Structure 1
Amino acid sequence: MLTNSLYNLSFLLSMPYNNINLISKHKYNLDDTILKEIYLKKLFNFEWAKKLNSSFKDYKFDYAYNILEQIPSFIKVKLILKTSFIVKTYPQNINSVSINEYILILEYLQDKCKIQFIAENEENPLLYEHILNTDLSSLVNSRNFNKNSNINVYKDKLSSIDSLFEMFIASSWLSTNNHDEKRASKFNVTDACDYAERFSLNYNPEYKSFSGIGGDCTNFMSQIIHAGGFSQNATWKPYTHAWIRVEELYQYLITQKLEATKLPNDKSLDRGCLIQFYTPSIGRYFHNGFITYRLQNGDCLYCCHSYDKLNYPLSQIYPNRYPTLRALKFD
């Protein structure tokens, strides 16, 4: 019963809008509010991809789960969902993978298991951590776990999709008219991108992982930059603050004359750029990624840890999830 519910949910979360629209909602055993929210999110992503002329195919998924806590009639579960698809682009198609973590609360009702709450770690990290660290009995007694709908958020995004698109194409990050001329550099972009792709999903065992204990995204960025040719020193080495913390890495790179240029500065995002995402709910830059491809439609693909992603489209999260980002380009 639980396995069937989680399989059906994983299918729903991983498939694009045009694949799920023909399927009866009754098979999912979801709270109606949650189902509507997922539907609106899928619809927005579908319309957004059409705006950008993005083309994805061959969606697949795999999942695993851990039962965190169980009381009579209720269960709290961590779901780890791996979604893969192909980014259709010329001259080659590119494999893209995203691994997302969810906290679920399910209720046993007669012969079925109904999903009453769902929170994704990247989309709502504070709520995710709250539900993760709060006793299930307290959550059930208060019944406040199912009052966090983002339905109005996605309605607003759908109604403002034209303005979001204008923001996207006008962004200096993604301009197609201001690429720099290639020149000699001590930073090897190819080596850095190769490292990012190799270890985005399978962590390098030669380094400690900080996943689950503060996040591994900055640790991974430092590994990539080091693979690209930058030497370690007393300030920037495993596992100093400059190596593992978002803000400290950024400040180190722009002040230590490592030829890291802030963007925008008559430059645009391209392969080899470090990007940092501002998380509104937390109120600071909280996450990093590394650009591995730039596509013909102006989009970019990136790799990261903690919200593990391999060659994931930047347009899927910017500006609709992360409205602000900053970036460094290594000269």
Structure 2
Amino acid sequence: MLSKVLYDLCHLLSTPYDNLNLVPDMSPYINHLILEKIYLDKLQLYKYRKFINSILENIHFTYKYSILEKNKEIIKLKLNLRICFKLKNAPTKIISSYISEYITILENLQNNFKIQLLIENEDNPILYNYLLDTPLSKIKCLKYYKDDFVIETNFPLINSTNETFNTCESSFYLSARDRDSYSFNILSACTYAETFALTPNPEYKYFEGIGGDCTNFASQILYSGGLKKNKIWAPYTNSWIRVQELYSYLINNNLAIKVPNDSLLSKGDLIQFYTPKIGRYFHNGFITYKLPNNDCLYCCHSYNKLNYPLSEIYPNKYPTLRALRFQ
């Protein structure tokens, strides 16, 4: 029964709004407030897709889950959902794919399961990590779902993994000779991004679950594109694995220029997203394709995405972004 509920949930989460008639009725198995939010989010995205003429085709999903904790009435589990699709206006043979991670808490009454809490990592990373690490005995109000406040307690902000490492100051400046001795190869950078978007390169540390891997992956992409390592920018210095420090390093050393507005985004740009629930720029992506409708496809880690449409998360999930272009 649990597997059936989770399968139907994943079916629902992976189905666009205009095809929801194909999804089994989930109302007996999910809190109505969660269901309402899912439908409203899908409706909003459907309207935006229609506005920019973005059509998803050949959608399919796989999922896996692990039970983190359970008692007689409650189960807390981690759900990984991988969704693959094709964009109608994308180049031939380009497949888009992404992995969403959820913490799910279900009520279990005589083997009848009902989802009472569903938190996606990218949607609310602070709450996701809190729930991941907090025992059920300390989580209250399980039967009540609210968008911004689910738990009757204070939980700490995410501490970036990057603070684990002692590094040089990010105010370091390259010499003119070092700064001018590289050329950026967009094709090489994009090839690396696509190769390791969903499966991390085993030659590097992977920081998933300990602060996030997005900047570490972005730096790997830039290195593959031609940026040279040095004492300030190398695995795993602050400038290599922290969002703001990478930005400062690139700008201060004239290795990249800021793109003046999002309508000018192009293949090979590094994009950084402002995360409202954290209050700072907290996430990176790298653009691998520019589409005819002015949308872009990008790759990233931590919320692992391969050639994922920027329009799916900007501006609805991330209202602000900044972009850097390499010489």
Which TM-score tier does this pair reach, normalised by the shorter chain?
0.7 to 0.9
Distance of aligned partners of 1:66 and 1:26 in 2 relative to their CA distance in 1, 3 Å threshold: closer
1:320 alignment partner in structure 2: 316
Say whether the 8 Å CA contact 1:9–1:28 is kept in structure 2: no
The normalised TM-score by structure 1 is 0.85
Q: 1:267 offset after TM fit, Å? A: 8.1
Aligned partners of 1:133 and 1:124: how far apart in 2?
15
Asked whether the 8 Å contact 2:197–2:301 carries over to 1, the reply is: yes
What is the aligned partner in structure 2 of residue 194 from structure 1?
A: 191
TM-score (normalised: structure 2): 0.86
Shift of 1:265: 7.1
> 1:56 offset after TM fit, Å?
1.2
Unpaired stretches in structure 2, ≥5 consecutive residues: 149-181
Name the CA distance, whole Å, in 1 between partners of 2:30 and 2:24.
12
Out of 134, 147, 150, the residue aligned to residue 149 of structure 1 is 147
Verify: 1:136 aligned to 2:136, yes or no: yes
Q: Output aligned runs, 1:262-301, within 5 Å.
A: 262-264=258-260, 268-301=264-297
> Could you tell me how far apart the structure 2 residues matched to 1:91 and 1:313 are?
13
The structural deviation recorded for 1:203 is: 0.8
Which range moved further: 225-234 or 262-271? 262-271
> How much identity, in percent, do the aligned residues show?
55
When the two chains are superposed, the root-mean-square deviation of aligned CA atoms in Å is 1.8
Go from structure 1 to structure 2 and tell me whether the alpha carbon gap of 1:91 and 1:106 turns closer, same or farther (over 3 Å shift).
closer
Q: 1:222 to 1:114 in 2, by over 3 A?
A: same
- Deviation, structure 1 residue 304: 0.1
Question: Shift of residue 133 of structure 1?
Answer: 2.2
* Letter paired with 1:208: K
- When residues 271 and 223 of structure 1 are mapped into structure 2, their CA distance, relative to the original with a 3 A threshold, is same
- Find 1:219's aligned residue among 208, 216, 220: 216
Distance 1:35 1:2 in 2: 18
Alpha-carbon spacing, 1:26–1:100, altered in 2? closer, same or farther (3 Å): closer
> 1:175: which partner in 2?
none
Cα 1:61/1:295, change in 2 over 3 Å:
same
Counterpart of 2:247 (choices 250, 275, 295) is: 250
Is contact 2:103-2:128 (8 Å) kept?
yes
Seen in structure 2, the aligned counterparts of structure 1 residues 311 and 145 have a Cα distance that, compared at 3 Å, is farther
Report the count of equivalent residues. 294
Q: Tell me, yes or no, if structure 1 residue 121 matches structure 2 residue 117.
A: no
Check conservation: 2:8, 2:26, Cα contact below 8 A. no
Shift of 1:93: 4.8
Question: C-alpha distance in 1, partners of 2:5/2:262?
Answer: 50
Question: How far does residue 231 in structure 1 lie from its aligned partner after superposition?
Answer: 0.9
- Flag structure 1 segments of 5+ consecutive residues without an equivalent: 151-184
CA shift in 2, pair 1:143/1:302, >3 Å: same
Q: 1:223: Cα distance to partner?
A: 0.5
Which sits farther off after the overlay, 263-272 or 306-315?
A: 263-272
Equivalent-residue separation in structure 1 for 2:264 and 2:278 (angstroms): 27
The answer as to 2:54 corresponding to 1:54 is: yes
**Bigger mean CA offset, 37-46 vs 224-233:** 37-46
In 2, the alpha carbon distance for the partners of 1:218 and 1:148 equals 31
Distance 1:107 1:267 in 2: 46
**Are 1:5 and 2:5 counterparts?**
yes
Name the SS for the 2:128 alignment partner.
helix
Instruction: Tell me, yes or no, if the aligned pair for 1:211 and 1:306 is still in contact at 8 Å.
Output: yes
Q: Is the 2:263–2:294 contact (alpha carbons within 8 Å) kept by the matching residues of 1?
A: no
- Give the superposition deviation at 1:27: 6.8
Per-residue deviation, 1:127: 1.6
SS of 1:186 mapped into structure 2:
coil
**Closer, same or farther in 2 for the Cα pair 1:273/1:234, shift >3 Å?**
same
Q: Deviating runs (4+, > 6 A) in structure 1?
A: none
Q: Secondary structure at the match of 1:146?
A: coil
Could you tell me which residue of structure 2 aligns to residue 92 of structure 1?
92
The 2-side partners of 1:233 and 1:88 are apart by 42
The change in CA–CA distance for 1:145 and 1:294 in structure 2 (over 3 A counts) is farther
Q: Is 1:233 aligned to residue 227 of structure 2?
A: no
Separation in 2, partners of 1:55, 1:323: 22
Contact 2:116–2:145 (Cα < 8 Å) also in 1: no
Q: Distance in 1 between matches of 2:212 and 2:16?
A: 28
Letter of the structure 1 residue corresponding to residue 94 of structure 2: I
Equivalent position of 1:180 in the other structure: none
CA–CA distance in structure 1, aligned partners of residues 127 and 306 of structure 2 = 25
Deviation for aligned residue 1:111? 3.9
Q: Please state whether the residue corresponding to 1:46 is helix, strand or coil.
A: helix
Shift of 1:94: 2.2
1:281 maps to a residue whose letter is K
**Deviation of residue 131 (structure 1)?**
1.8
Contact 2:27 2:35 in 1 (8 A): no
